[in-house]
């Protein structure tokens, strides 16, 4: 079996790959995402391009350490119009972000790249559109308490596969894309390279 490395320690991405039958090891890429995002936003990069560039940086960086492996880099960007959001640092940040998203439709851009020998050999970006309902302040406070610290690991401050589903009135897009890893095209790529069963 060919070696696969996930350039991330994301619990969600690891869970998705394991569930999909992919044998891999996880290794953090240690990319300064905040500085990269700040620079790209200053250049007026589109959110999907920001996600793609971050995914590439992660894959290529880890590929330099594992040149013979297929290295998967992934990233997700949440945007509301031209505004790009990052993971909230704490509950107050999550509250402010969810209040900003409330009653609006935002976009999740999920990018995945595969690198080998330091170069990208495959990439794709998929997007989902999510509309938050106009929930009350009281609901938001109850949600923050019940959802707990786990939401801080998500760029949106929610997990649609859990309690976060109650925040929404409409979701258009692939469930895997929403969770941060477009699995169907990735599995198809891995299948064509003999990494998962054909």
DSSP state of 133: -
Helix and strand element counts for the chain (H, E): 7, 7
d(CA 79, CA 65): 32
DSSP state of 104: S
Buried b / exposed e over 44-58, threshold 16 CB at 10 Å, is ebebbbbbbbbbbbb
Active-site entry in 23, 32, 49, 75: 75
List, in order, residues 6 or more apart from 35 with CB less than 8 Å away: none
16 in Cβ contact with 181 (< 8 Å): yes
Active-site annotation holds for 75: yes
List, in order, residues 6 or more apart from 68 with CB less than 8 Å away: 3, 116, 117
Could you tell me the two tokens for 100? Answer: 């900003």
Give the catalytic positions in this structure: 75
């Amino acid at each position: 079996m060919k070696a696969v490395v996930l350039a991330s320690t994301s619990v969600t991405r690891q869970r998705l790959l394991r569930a999909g039958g992919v044998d891999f090891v996880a290794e953090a890429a240690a990319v300064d995402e905040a500085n990269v995002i700040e620079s790209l936003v200053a250049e007026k990069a589109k959110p999907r391009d920001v996600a793609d560039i971050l995914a590439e940086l992660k894959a290529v960086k880890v590929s330099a350490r594992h040149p013979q492996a297929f290295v998967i880099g992934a990233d997700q960007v949440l945007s509301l119009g031209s505004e790009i959001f990052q993971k909230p640092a704490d509950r107050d940040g999550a509250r402010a972000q969810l209040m900003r998203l409330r009653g609006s439709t935002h976009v999740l851009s999920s990018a995945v790249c595969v690198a080998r020998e330091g170069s990208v050999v495959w990439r794709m970006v998929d997007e989902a559109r999510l509309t938050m309902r106009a929930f009350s302040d009281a609901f938001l406070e109850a949600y923050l308490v019940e959802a707990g610290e786990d939401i801080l690991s998500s760029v949106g401050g929610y997990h649609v596969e859990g309690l976060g589903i109650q925040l929404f009135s409409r979701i258009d897009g692939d469930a895997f894309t929403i969770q941060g890893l477009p699995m169907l095209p990735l599995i198809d790529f891995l299948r064509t390279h003999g990494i998962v069963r054909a």
